Chains A and B, each alone.
Chain A
Amino acid sequence: MTHHSTVGSTEKVRARRRGSRKLLAVAIAAIAIAALGACSTGGAAPAKTVAHGCGHGATNLTFWGWPAGYNLAVSEFNKTHPDTCVKLENAGASTAEYVKLSDAIKAGSGAPDVATIEYFELPSFEITHSLVDLSKYGVSSVKTNEAPVAWSQVTQGSAQYAMPVDLGPLALFYNAKEFKDNGLTVPTTWSDFATAAATLHAKNPKLGMTNFDPESTQDVLALMQEYNAFPFTYTGGSTIGINFTGTAEMAFANYWQGLISKQLVTTAGDFSPQQWANLDSGANAARLSPAWGPVGMQLSIKNTIGNWVTAQMPQTTAGGQLSGNWGGSSLAVVAGTKHAKQAAEFVKWFGGSADAWKILSGPVAGAFPAYVPLLNDSTFQARTLKITGTTTPNTVFAQAAQHMVDPQWPPIMTAAATQWTSTFAGVTKGTETLPQAFTTYQAQLVAYAKAQGFTVTTN
């Protein structure tokens, strides 16, 4: 249970379908247990945080969000903005929330004024005209305060469909002691990375360089961004580009399949007890970690606390600085709200104010900011964690946040993620290769997109 409560408390798995499903399962379990307990106490408390201190006559806003610590930021907003009263409701994490949200929008009632939406899901709501264009409410003025990639994720042309909150830039998080003991230098290119993995494996066949979970949609797609092999293109409208079989994409698939076949990397499920055990026993010497990763990781390992050092991701070309994004979410104002102006004011404050970020980057929420003043803040960059000893991970992650590939998500990501797990399961089991899975998935997704009426380009 430790592992799951860890995931739950950090809420960092929001970027991942499986993570959120896991949360859902744990939440269901928790609710069930609470309900059993409630037999004697007379009823479980509703999963609702009603803000305190809302005065009479204040405009009421409903806000759907699940990440940890959001309730604290909402209370702060309500305290400092007496004219608006935000009520935070947890309508489930990630996909669970999106299903409810799109159903409520279709039904024409029951939708909130504001909702947490991950970047990859925004186009799915944009295409159904479900989000309010915030550029009409003066929110665009905060553009310079947001990391360029985050800003690009929430905008389509001149329209702004959400306010960025957090980000998940990738970095190489490695066990410095294990590297030193095995005479490894920190790899700066993917080719160095494979060489180092082979060296490590030759010294001890039980050791793998890192973990690669083929079934983890968002993890693989983040790594593909960083590899300059992102398979999707979409700029609004009815044309989608899907290309899992292009040169760069196949190079990516072949690279990782090579490491998997030679057992230089493990294929445990992301956030599974097996993965944490591998990281703690040395069976994995490194983790390709998003910025929000270390906080949760240090609660799930014990033997290697203090050994972990952060470095820039290995690059496809020497001297590059690219990073990919895994996770991160935004706040969108839902079309049909009667209080778009107040809602816009709230999301602007939530994602783009020092007051909000004081709470959001704090110990409870632990979000990694897309908010540039904090990214550049020397105190923020100098923070250390138990797991990192005296080294400062935020220095590297903040740098990575400024050099991220801007992925264009297609408006079919829910279906894409649903089909992904089944299609890629064979790679973990060893019954198919990653390039084969890419080829199968390409055909599936193109067929789905065409069935949905899209024009599909595949190059």
Chain B
Amino acid sequence: MADQLAQAAPTGTSLRIRRPSAGPSRTARRGKVRQWPGAVFIAPHMLMLGLFMLVPTVYAIYTSLYTTKLIGGTSFSGGANYVTVLQSSQFWDGVGRVLLFGVIQVPLTIALAFFFAAIFDAGIVRFSRFFRTVFFIPFAVPGVVAAVMWSFLLLPGFGPYATFAEALGLGKLNFFSSQLILPTLILIVIWEFTGYNMTILYTSLKSIPREVTEAAIVEGASLWRIILRIKLPMVMPTVVMLVFLNTVGALQLFTEPSILAAFQPQAISFGFTPSLFVYNTAVGSGEYNLGAAAAVVLALIIGLLSVAGLAVRRRDGEFS
């Protein structure tokens, strides 16, 4: 990716240089000719976006304004569903839980990812290509499979980790108890996503010009100083982007808890995460309208956080 970007930049520059030599009418015509292939290229994406994002979103908003009763059928209910969601302690408990989850999981994941990316990039580990692949494998495992696998590994009383903890004298650890369920989920998600974040950070680190590092070495900077004071600031835009992506992912937490719920129902409540609240309300309780309203509220919360994230990135000069 970095190589492609590096190649793209000079091409763009040369175009800009060439343009003034051409007549204004020619530029306009060329512009027109150039527009339609662009439109064709983005058309499939826009079509999918429209069909699977825009239409369902509009439909969800429309649905959320109605109420369907088993006795009495469907009627317009305005903002009644929104009032119910906004007053639901279960929903807000879930929002609070995923925020807490995100506050712990996102920094840990990115710190770990950066640590490994930096040592692989520094070339101080042998077989780094092999290890990079190994670290990436958890991301290639579907979330569902990962959750099923961890359910067995962490099984209270019988799983290898519970047996191991008992042998260490930690007593009978229940990884799915109300105290440990959130740390357990954090562990699973960190395991799944560290490799992915590491790969992106590694690519980013690789794009730092060699000369910078060489100069630092000549100046006598230590390895950790180079990593923390020179490389980290240079890949900061990537880190900020990853924080943003991971936070949105954390707020939408669904797959792992919903699979764990099948094995440990007492650990995962009805509204454990906002997404689970939406699912259980709509599918589990047949209240599709209320579920749609909860989904819209959740989308608004994520939207607000995204806007805030964009504002931070713009302040940092990432966008003009």
CB-based contact A453/B72 at 8 Å: yes
If the complex has contacts A28-B148, A422-B270, are A22 and B263 also in contact, measured as CB distance less than 8 A? yes
Residues of A417-445 contacting chain B, CB below 8 A:
418-419, 421-422, 425, 428-429, 431
CA distance A452 to B285 in the complex (A): 11
Residues of A18-50 contacting chain B, CB below 8 A:
18, 21-22, 24-26, 28-29, 32-33
CA distance A29 to B259 in the complex (A): 10
Q: With an 8 A cutoff between CB atoms, is A215 at the interface?
A: yes
CA distance A422 to B264 in the complex (A): 11
**Most A CB within 10 A of own CB, among B155, B259, B264, B266:** B266
Q: With an 8 A cutoff between CB atoms, is A378 at the interface?
A: no
Q: Which residue on chain B has the smallest CB distance to residue A20?
A: B262
Contact of B69 among A24, A99, A429, A451 (CB under 8 A): A451
Q: Which residue on chain B has the smallest CB distance to residue A30?
A: B148
CB-based contact B284/A215 at 8 Å: no
CB-based contact A32/B269 at 8 Å: no
Q: Which residue on chain B has the smallest CB distance to residue A454?
A: B71
Question: Using Cβ atoms and an 8 Å threshold, which residues of chain B touch A128?
Answer: 70
Q: With an 8 A cutoff between CB atoms, is B86 at the interface?
A: no
CB-based contact B266/A429 at 8 Å: yes
CB-based contact B270/A419 at 8 Å: yes
Question: Using Cβ atoms and an 8 Å threshold, which residues of chain A touch B269?
Answer: 421-422, 425
Q: Which residue on chain B has the smallest CB distance to residue A25?
A: B262
Q: With an 8 A cutoff between CB atoms, is B154 at the interface?
A: no
Contact of A419 among B142, B178, B267, B285 (CB under 8 A): B285
Tally B residues with Cβ within 8 Å of A.
Answer: 33
CB-based contact A425/B158 at 8 Å: no
Residues of A90-132 contacting chain B, CB below 8 A:
95, 99, 102, 127-128
CB-based contact B71/A452 at 8 Å: yes
Question: Using Cβ atoms and an 8 Å threshold, which residues of chain A touch B285?
Answer: 414-415, 418-419, 448
**Most B CB within 10 A of own CB, among A29, A215, A429:** A29
Q: With an 8 A cutoff between CB atoms, is B180 at the interface?
A: no
If the complex has contacts A414-B286, A429-B178, A452-B69, are A421 and B145 also in contact, measured as CB distance less than 8 A? no
Q: With an 8 A cutoff between CB atoms, is A182 at the interface?
A: no
Q: With an 8 A cutoff between CB atoms, is B54 at the interface?
A: no
CA distance A25 to B156 in the complex (A): 18
Q: With an 8 A cutoff between CB atoms, is B89 at the interface?
A: no
CA distance A411 to B70 in the complex (A): 9
Q: With an 8 A cutoff between CB atoms, is B173 at the interface?
A: no
CB-based contact B152/A127 at 8 Å: no
Shortest Cβ gap from B207 to chain A (Å): 32
Q: With an 8 A cutoff between CB atoms, is B144 at the interface?
A: yes
CA distance A26 to B148 in the complex (A): 8
Q: With an 8 A cutoff between CB atoms, is A258 at the interface?
A: no
Q: Which residue on chain B has the smallest CB distance to residue A424?
A: B266
CA distance A95 to B69 in the complex (A): 20
Q: Is the interface of A mostly helix, strand, loop or mixed?
A: helix
Contact of B280 among A215, A418, A448 (CB under 8 A): A418
CB-based contact A127/B145 at 8 Å: no
CB-based contact A32/B144 at 8 Å: yes
CB-based contact A28/B144 at 8 Å: yes
CB-based contact B145/A215 at 8 Å: no
Question: Using Cβ atoms and an 8 Å threshold, which residues of chain A touch B271?
Answer: 422
Shortest Cβ gap from A440 to chain B (Å): 12
CA distance A66 to B252 in the complex (A): 31
Q: With an 8 A cutoff between CB atoms, is A269 at the interface?
A: yes
Residue-wise interface mask of B (127-144) relative to A, using a CB-CB cutoff of 8 A (1 in contact, 0 not): 000000000000000101
Residue-wise interface mask of B (235-262) relative to A, using a CB-CB cutoff of 8 A (1 in contact, 0 not): 0000000000000000000000001011
Contact of A99 among B70, B270, B283 (CB under 8 A): B283
Q: Which residue on chain B has the smallest CB distance to residue A239?
A: B71
Question: Using Cβ atoms and an 8 Å threshold, which residues of chain B touch A24?
Answer: 262
CA distance A128 to B266 in the complex (A): 32
Q: With an 8 A cutoff between CB atoms, is B160 at the interface?
A: no
Q: With an 8 A cutoff between CB atoms, is A273 at the interface?
A: yes
**Most A CB within 10 A of own CB, among B261, B269, B285:** B285
CA distance A207 to B284 in the complex (A): 37
Contact of B266 among A22, A238, A428 (CB under 8 A): A428
CA distance A215 to B72 in the complex (A): 32
CA distance A29 to B142 in the complex (A): 10
Shortest Cβ gap from A171 to chain B (Å): 26
Q: Which residue on chain B has the smallest CB distance to residue A415?
A: B285
Question: Chain A interface (Cβ within 8 Å of chain B)?
Answer: 1, 18, 21-22, 24-26, 28-29, 32-33, 95, 99, 102, 127-128, 215, 238, 269, 273-274, 277, 411-412, 414-415, 418-419, 421-422, 425, 428-429, 431, 448, 451-454
Q: Can you list 30 residue pairs at the A/B interface with Cβ under 8 Å?
A: A18-B262, A21-B265, A24-B262, A25-B259, A28-B148, A29-B144, A32-B144, A32-B145, A33-B145, A102-B286, A215-B265, A269-B264, A269-B265, A274-B157, A274-B158, A411-B70, A414-B284, A415-B285, A415-B287, A418-B270, A421-B266, A421-B269, A422-B270, A425-B269, A429-B266, A431-B178, A448-B285, A451-B69, A452-B70, A453-B70
In the complex, besides A25-B151, A127-B71, 10 extra interface pairs with C-beta distance below 8 angstroms are A21-B261, A29-B145, A215-B265, A215-B266, A269-B265, A269-B266, A273-B157, A422-B271, A429-B266, A452-B70
